[in-house]
Each structure stands twice: as structure tokens, then as C-alpha cells.
Amino acid sequence: MKSFSLFSIVLMCIGILILDLLTFYWLQSITQFIPSSLLKTSIHVLFWLFSIGLITSILVLKVTLDDVNPIKKQLLISKFYGLAISSFVPKLIFVIIISVLYFSNYLFSESESLIIVPVVGLLSGFLPFFVILYGIYIAVYKFKVHHHIIKSRLLPKSFNGIKIVQISDLHLGSFNYAYEKLEKAIEKINKLQPDYIVFTGDIVNNYAWELRGWETVFSQLKAKKGKYAILGNHDYSDYSTWDTLEAKQENSEAIKQFFKKIDFKLLLNEAEVISKNNEHIAIIGVENWGEPPLKRYCDLQKAMAHVKTIPFKILLSHDPTHWPEEVIDKTDIALTLAGHTHGMQAAFQYKKLQWSPIKYKFKHWAGLYQHKQQYLYVNRGLGWLGFPARIGMRPEITCIELQTLPNEPKS
């Protein structure tokens, strides 16, 4: 909330109030059927107590936010964000659906309308509310493993069948030191017995102190061959106001040092050559590429300088917009691993159908993409930021097995 002006917050509160007035208008059309005047009045009073309490809390939090310590500030913002969304979205759906039913009442007889409108109206409000509650308290910790096999003629035979586990967007500050929450994720990763584990950015929300104690958790990650990491846009200390440049640099350096503590090699516009039986692949890690206003620290040419002759290259790049801008048709990088989008932490998925509003901002926002013989995988994120929930977009552990395709026979 600190990033929004007081004027913006006031406008948001006015919007919430207008929606609450509409909701209450339609709520009265339902509560009129309650015979007990005491119960009816109690429902009305509770509705406005919650509404006024929420708006007041948002305004008070905004005004007093600068005086709150950073740890408590992050927690308060997330809680109020979750509370506001869980209140606003069900009410909006309720108002839309009951309005449509009311103005389409010629479709029903008067007796049918007395039953259909209240029942459907209530369901339209309560169902989204319970879905959001499920997303906040359960789904956000239901880690899902996505398995993929990627075949390439560029992959040397010695590396056929190697297994790479990708994790991304941990945002550890959001977990508020609840170390046990990620233990199941660690167990799932280790059971996959990966050759390599890669982390594709955003280990924190803003601050190095968010990492306190987490080295014990992430030191348990086991990879047969190696563990690699890059930084994401939130790992550069750019989202906070610092008293001095030195303070910002100290914060950034502490974040980088954390990767040494958990035995991950941090790749900062550099590459690592991996050899086996005199054959080679390369893992390239670039600093964050961001679309404006995000800052760009990426230098792909520098990172690739010493691995141009390596046949199979894996690029770790936090932001998937980097792939169409600098990778495909401009390099021979076979596989790019990214994160950043979180899949918006909300989506509708049914079998192979997947939709989220984030698709209107990011062309590549979740899952596997292919352009000719080049692949991009966008991890949906293991943590969360802002809205403390996952709705139809479970936190992800990606397991990719690489397989060698035989060369096409010459004609």
C-alpha cells in the first residue's frame, strides 16, 4: 500500500463503498424473506460493521504505514490485501448476477423468482468467498509438480535423461518465517532426485532480513550434480527507499551471500560449462531483464561470451519477456527457464485449457512454449506476493527431463 498515493487509496475506498451500497440494496431483497426482524437487523448491522471497519482500517493503515516496522508492515499489507479481495470479488459477482436475474425476471414466473433470485444470489456471493478462502488457507501451500520431457537434437548423448528441477519466485518474506510451510516442497523436490536444481529469481520481496533462518530449510535441497540460481526483479532492493546507497548495496550483497549459504551458485551474467564423457552443455544465468519501468541488469552477450561453441545451452532468465526479445531467432539457446508472472496466482484450468487475466500482460505466462527448436518454460512460482492466495494456480515445482533426439538422416 505504500506504493500508492493517499488519493489513490481514498478512491479505492470510495469504490468499495459504492459496491457495498449496491450489495446492500440487493441484500435487502433477500433478507426481506426472513421472518425474524431481529435476525434481519443483525445481518444488516454486521454487513455495515464489516464494510466500515474494512474501509477505516485501509485508511488508517495507509496513514500510519511509515511508522510500522518493516516485518509487521509486510504482514499487515498482505492480510488487508487478502481481506479486501475476499470481500470485493464475491460482492461484485453477487451484484452482477442478482442484477441480471432481476432484470431478466420475465423469464420466470413471480413464484419462481421468489425462490430463484435469492438462492442463486446467495450462492453467487458465497461460492467465490469460499473459493478465495480455500486459496488463502489451503491451495497456497498445495505444491504441485509439473513433469515435462523436452527432446532436442542439440543435446549430447552423454546428457540424455538428465533431470532438472526448477523453482522460482519464493518471496520468502511472505511466509513470515513459517519455515514448516515449505518443508513439503523440499520433500517433493528431493524425492524427484534431480541432477540439477535451478532457481529463477525473486527469493525475497525486498529485504535481506526476510532470509533469516531459511538457510536451514534450503540447505536440505539435494541435487546430484549441482544447484544454480539467478536474481529476480525483487532481489535488487529497488522497491524500497534507502537512507544511503551503501545501505541498499549492503542489502543486495546480503541477498547474494545467502545463495552461498545454501550451496547454490549464483550466476550474474555468466555461464557454467558442464562436461561429461568429453561432451558439454552450458547453464547460462543472466541478471534481470525487465520491461520498463523495471530496471535492466541483463547482459546476455557477456554471459554467453565463453560458451558460444557449446551445442546445448540452458538459459536462466527471470522475466519471460526476455525470450522473444533477445533469445529466439537471435541465439542458439535451446531451453530458457523463467518465472516472474506467478500465473497471476489466479487462473481457470480444465484439462489442457488454461486461462488467466495475466495473459493480457504476458504472452508467455505459464508452462511450456516452443518456437522452432527453442523452448521456454515459465514456472508459476512457489511462493506468493501481495494477494496471499492461489486460486486455480497452485504453487509449482517443475521437473524437466532432457532427452536426445537422433539426428535426421541425410537425404
pLDDT score of 97 more than 90: no
Of 36, 81, 364, whose CA–CA distance to 205 is shortest? 81
pLDDT in the model for residue 180:
96
- 123-134 b/e (C-beta count within 10 Å ≥ 16 → b): ebbeebbebbee
pLDDT score of 137 more than 80: yes
- The 3-state DSSP class for residue 152 equals strand
Q: What is the CATH number assigned to the segment(s) 144-404?
A: 3.60.21.10
Per-residue pLDDT reduced to its tens digit, 385-404: 988 999 999 999 999 999 99
Question: Range(s) for CATH 3.60.21.10 in the chain?
Answer: 144-404
| Region label for 159, one of left (φ > 0), alpha (ψ between -120 and 50) or beta (otherwise) | alpha
- pTM of the complete model: 0.88
Of 377, 348, 357, 390, whose CA–CA distance to 143 is shortest? 390
Per-residue pLDDT reduced to its tens digit, 215-255: 999 999 999 999 999 999 999 999 888 989 999 999 999 99
Contacts of 328 (CB under 8 A, 6+ apart): 371, 372, 374
Are 337 and 166 a contacting pair, CB within 8 Å? Answer: yes
Per-residue pLDDT reduced to its tens digit, 153-194: 999 999 999 999 999 999 999 998 999 999 999 999 999 999
Percent of the chain beyond pLDDT 70?
92
| C-alpha span between 240 and 65 (Å, rounded) | 13
pLDDT in the model for residue 69:
62
pLDDT in the model for residue 1:
41
- Using pLDDT thresholds of 50, 70 and 90, give the confidence band for residue 2: very low
Average pLDDT over residues 21-32: 88
Higher pLDDT, 291 or 302: 302
- The rounded mean pLDDT for the chain is 90
Of 200, 267, 269, 266, whose CA–CA distance to 233 is shortest? 200
- The 3-state DSSP class for residue 229 equals strand
